[in-house]
Structure 1
Amino acid sequence: MLFNSLGFALFLPIVFVLYWFVTNKNLKAQNLLLLAASYFFYSCWDYRFLFLLIFSTFLDFYTGQRIYRAVKPASKKFWLYLSVGVNLGLLGVFKYYNFFVDSLAHSLSAVGVTASFNTLDVILPVGISFYTFHGLSYVFDIHNGRTKPTDNFVDYSVFVSFFPLLVAGPIERATHLLPQIEKPRRFSYQQAVNGMRQILWGYFKKVAIADNCAEYANMIFNNSGHYPGSVLLLGAVLFSIQIYCDFSGYSDIALGVARLFGIELLRNFAFPFFSRDIAEFWRRWHISLSSWFKDYLYIPLGGSKVNTWKRVRNTIIIFVMSGLWHGAAWTYIIWGALNALYIIPSILIKSNRNHLDTVAQGRLLPSLSDTFKMLVTFMLTTLALAVFRSADMAHAFSFIGGIFTKSFFVIPTGEMLMGASVNILALLVVVTLFMVAEWLGRESLFAIEHTGEKWPRPLRWAFYLTIVLSTLYLTGIPQQFVYFQF
């Protein structure tokens, strides 16, 4: 079931009404309803993988209790390693097995050894990377003494499978979400209004911006050999905007929907395109994944409390692992490695913590220096995302190499980009207006969080109606959320 589907438009109000008007006086009934709704939501993709989700949930629930109750450190480690081994084993079989055996076969072939390995004909379960990391964070936190295990399997199951975040995050922590599930929730009109406002903005980003950018990005990337360098750069920029609006749009909808049920999820994006260096970008992009790798991989490796070269090593490890988390392809791994190379200079000169505030905080316009830094950061991340989007590394080299040719100075024309639902000039105007709105709201949780709060009600509702009508008018060919494949 997609957030941008008719099925979800029927599903959400039904669950909302049952939650607040039928089960609202009984916390256990509310949580059972959320669990049933979440399992139904997940089953709409493929009910067979629901059993895998339930197995993973039970595994971490059980091993979490055994870790907490174990007296000997060896016993704690045994149950921790069991949970980690089984979870990563399942992830490896479904997501990485074919990639590794194919890579091994190609490597052996390169040195003159012919090898053939059997591959698996399996479908990647939707959201497996997300709910696996939910469970792992739970057992890690218990092992490290950050939290105690819950004795309520239903509550824990809701933590793992809460439907707004189940298939594409954010990656939650038990220390943040589980206490909200375990305590009674009361309906808050203001929280629900904020949730609806965030949902509205999320749909606008996904449908009006991301889906239309996707049409052009797909056209350009899939036929890159036929376009001049200027159009290739345009395609890379449009893909950057697409993936940001697609994924952050999903996150906005997820956070907004959770608010309708009295639950606050972790923030996943904080206007990353207004970052002044790569370190700041990664503090603002896919925050829940970045912080997960920081807490459960970077810090255990020594974090920043080791010498400079070990910090560089740790940085390379977490970025390569972040790339691998996204998928079983060299393009993802190289994308992660590129970001590591981008950020290493700031580690060496100890400037990676320079920009902890919001750019141009309290001012309308940025300084020339900040503007230049944001443009450089955006272009670096755009080139890396071009690798991320490419079909393979040969395509990535060809695509990026095609940008840096004399054809870079060819002025793109409408004739080069015909066939999409929205005219390219119209799309660029809409994208520009969108970026202006994001800039004006950059000090908020999301762009329109406080827009119109002090306006007269008719004007405020006219603003919301304008967004709704714009979204409907700009609806093109529906695209699946990008991060569902991860």
Structure 2
Amino acid sequence: MYFNSITFAIFFIIVFFFYWFVLKRKISLQNIFILIASYVFYGWWDWRFLSLIAFSTLVDFFLALKITKIENRGRRKLFLAFSLLINLGLLAIFKYYNFFIENWIDAWASFGIIMSKHTMNIILPVGISFYTFQTLSYTIDVYRNKMKPTKNLVDFAAYVAFFPQLVAGPIERASHLLPQLQKERKFNYSYAQSGIHLIIWGLFQKVVIADSCAIYVNDIFENYEQYNGLTLAIGAIYFAFQIYGDFAGYSNIAIGTARLLGFNLMRNFNYPYFARDIAEFWRRWHISLSTWFRDYLYIPLGGSRGSVAMKVRNVFIIFIVSGFWHGANWTFLVWGAIHAFLFLPLLLANRNRNNLENIALDRLIPSLKEFYQITSTFILVTCAWIFFRADSISIAIDYLKNIFIRFKFKIEYLPIERYSVELIGLIALFIAIEWLHRNFEHPFVGKLRWLKIIFVLIMLVTLGVYSNYQDFIYFQF
């Protein structure tokens, strides 16, 4: 069930009606209904995996209760390790089993030892990386005495399976979302209005920007040997906006949908392509994941404290693990390593927190220095995205190499019957809209709010239909 489908629209209208009009101010019944709706939503893809999310929920619910009753630190750590083993074990089996087996066999083959492959036809459960991290953060926070475990299984299960953000985030902490499930929710018109605005803007990001780019990206990356360097560079830029519009669009729809039900989810994107360095990019991109790794991996490892060797180690661990979290392919590991190399000089020079405030707060246009910083950061990020998108490391390297050695200032006509630069105007418009509203959550603010909403809705109806609907990229993670 996709956010950009008629099926979801009908589903949510039904959920909204029963939630507010039938179960009004009945918290326990609302939470039961949210849980049922979430399981219906998740089971729409494959009902068999409902048992998996239910199992993870039960394991961490009871382990957290057990941890809080034990005073002995060694035994508490044992139960935490049990939670980590089960959750990460399930993730490893469903997401990484074949990757490890195939690479193990390939490693032996390099020494002339041929082994038979016993890989399994494993289907990756949608959203497993997201809800696994949610349940893990809960048990870790209980172990650290940062929160008390809930004794209400329905509330906890609703937190784990909360359908707006279940399959692609934001990755919510129990300390933030669970208390919202345990108190009365009242319908707030202005809050709901902001939710609708986020949904409309998220649909624009996904349907108009991301899906329009996807058509070009798929053709250029799949046939990159046929095109000149200019087309390949444009294809990389299109993918940068495809993955941004796709993922930020999903997050905004999720946050907006949750607001219509009276919940506040954390912001997941904050105009990342206006970042002035890689450190700022990661403070603005997939915020829920980057802060999760910061709090549960980077800081426990020592963070930016200690010797230079420890700092280097910690940076590479967090970025490579972040890359591996995205998928079982060496391309994701290299993508993570590239960002580690780009981030490390800033950390070692103590410049990783130089750009904490929004850019050009009181100015319409950035300074030349800021423009250079934004542009150079975007180029570096886009080059790294090539590894993220390519099927293999060798293809990514070949793609990058061909940008330079086959560069011609020639606009090519693609087999999809469109010129390679046709989207440039739409991308420029998108950048301009985001720049003018970079200090706001979404563009629908100010006196021209309704005019902007009408304009976006027209774009959804026209270009949205033209773009051809695509799956959300992060569903595969």
Q: C-alpha separation between the residues in 2 aligned to 1:22 and 1:183? A: 18
Q: C-alpha separation between the residues in 2 aligned to 1:394 and 1:187? A: 53
Q: C-alpha separation between the residues in 2 aligned to 1:16 and 1:135? A: 26
Q: C-alpha separation between the residues in 1 aligned to 2:164 and 2:302? A: 34
2:441 to 437, 445, 449: 445
Q: Please tell me whether residue 471 in structure 1 is matched to residue 470 in structure 2.
A: no
Which residue of the partner structure matches residue 381 of structure 1? 381
Which residue identity does 2:454 align to in structure 1? L
1:473 to 1:418, Cα distance in 2 relative to 1, 3 A: farther
Post-superposition Cα deviations, 1:144-182, rounded to whole Å, max 9, x if no partner, equal 111110000111111111001000000000111111111
* Equivalent position SS for 1:288: helix
Q: C-alpha separation between the residues in 2 aligned to 1:477 and 1:440? A: 28
Which residue identity does 2:416 align to in structure 1? G
Q: C-alpha separation between the residues in 2 aligned to 1:133 and 1:424? A: 39
Which residue of the partner structure matches residue 119 of structure 2? 119
Q: C-alpha separation between the residues in 2 aligned to 1:83 and 1:240? A: 36
Q: Please tell me whether residue 484 in structure 1 is matched to residue 470 in structure 2.
A: no
Which residue of the partner structure matches residue 407 of structure 2? 408
Residues 425-464 of structure 1: pairs in structure 2 closer than 5 A: 425-446=421-442, 448-450=443-445, 452=446, 454-455=447-448, 460-464=449-453
Which residue of the partner structure matches residue 357 of structure 2? 357
Number of equivalent positions: 475
Q: C-alpha separation between the residues in 2 aligned to 1:268 and 1:462? A: 26
Q: C-alpha separation between the residues in 2 aligned to 1:464 and 1:313? A: 47
Q: Report the CA distance between 1:112 and its aligned residue.
A: 2.4
Q: C-alpha separation between the residues in 1 aligned to 2:242 and 2:362? A: 28
Q: C-alpha separation between the residues in 2 aligned to 1:108 and 1:400? A: 30
Q: Report the CA distance between 1:427 and its aligned residue.
A: 2.1
Taking only the aligned residue pairs, the percentage that are identical comes to 48
Q: C-alpha separation between the residues in 1 aligned to 2:199 and 2:419? A: 26
Which residue identity does 2:150 align to in structure 1? T
Which residue identity does 2:178 align to in structure 1? L
Which residue identity does 1:440 align to in structure 2? L
Which residue of the partner structure matches residue 294 of structure 1? 294
The answer to whether the 8 A contact 1:220-1:235 is kept is: yes
Q: Report the CA distance between 1:410 and its aligned residue.
A: 2.9
Which residue identity does 1:29 align to in structure 2? L
Which residue of the partner structure matches residue 238 of structure 2? 238
Which residue of the partner structure matches residue 6 of structure 1? 6
Q: Report the CA distance between 1:380 and its aligned residue.
A: 0.5
The answer to whether the 8 A contact 2:444-2:453 is kept is: no
Which residue of the partner structure matches residue 202 of structure 1? 202
The answer to whether the 8 A contact 2:231-2:420 is kept is: no
Q: C-alpha separation between the residues in 1 aligned to 2:70 and 2:193? A: 46
* Equivalent position SS for 2:269: coil
Q: C-alpha separation between the residues in 1 aligned to 2:84 and 2:22? A: 39
Q: C-alpha separation between the residues in 2 aligned to 1:109 and 1:226? A: 33
Q: C-alpha separation between the residues in 1 aligned to 2:365 and 2:415? A: 35
Which residue identity does 2:17 align to in structure 1? V
Q: Report the CA distance between 1:431 and its aligned residue.
A: 1.3
Which residue identity does 1:35 align to in structure 2? L
Q: C-alpha separation between the residues in 1 aligned to 2:113 and 2:377? A: 43
Q: Report the CA distance between 1:423 and its aligned residue.
A: 6.1
Which residue identity does 2:423 align to in structure 1? L
Q: Please tell me whether residue 66 in structure 1 is matched to residue 66 in structure 2.
A: yes
* Equivalent position SS for 1:409: coil
Which residue of the partner structure matches residue 156 of structure 2? 156
Q: C-alpha separation between the residues in 2 aligned to 1:427 and 1:393? A: 27
* Equivalent position SS for 1:300: helix
Q: C-alpha separation between the residues in 1 aligned to 2:312 and 2:71? A: 37
Q: C-alpha separation between the residues in 2 aligned to 1:305 and 1:192? A: 43
Residues 54-453 of structure 1: pairs in structure 2 closer than 5 A: 54-405=54-405, 407-413=406-412, 415=413, 417-419=414-416, 424-446=420-442, 448-450=443-445, 452=446
Runs of at least 5 residues in structure 1 that lack an aligned partner in the other structure: none
* Equivalent position SS for 1:444: coil
* Equivalent position SS for 1:169: coil
Which residue identity does 2:202 align to in structure 1? G
Q: Report the CA distance between 1:412 and its aligned residue.
A: 1.8
TM-score by length of 2: 0.98
Q: Report the CA distance between 1:114 and its aligned residue.
A: 2.0
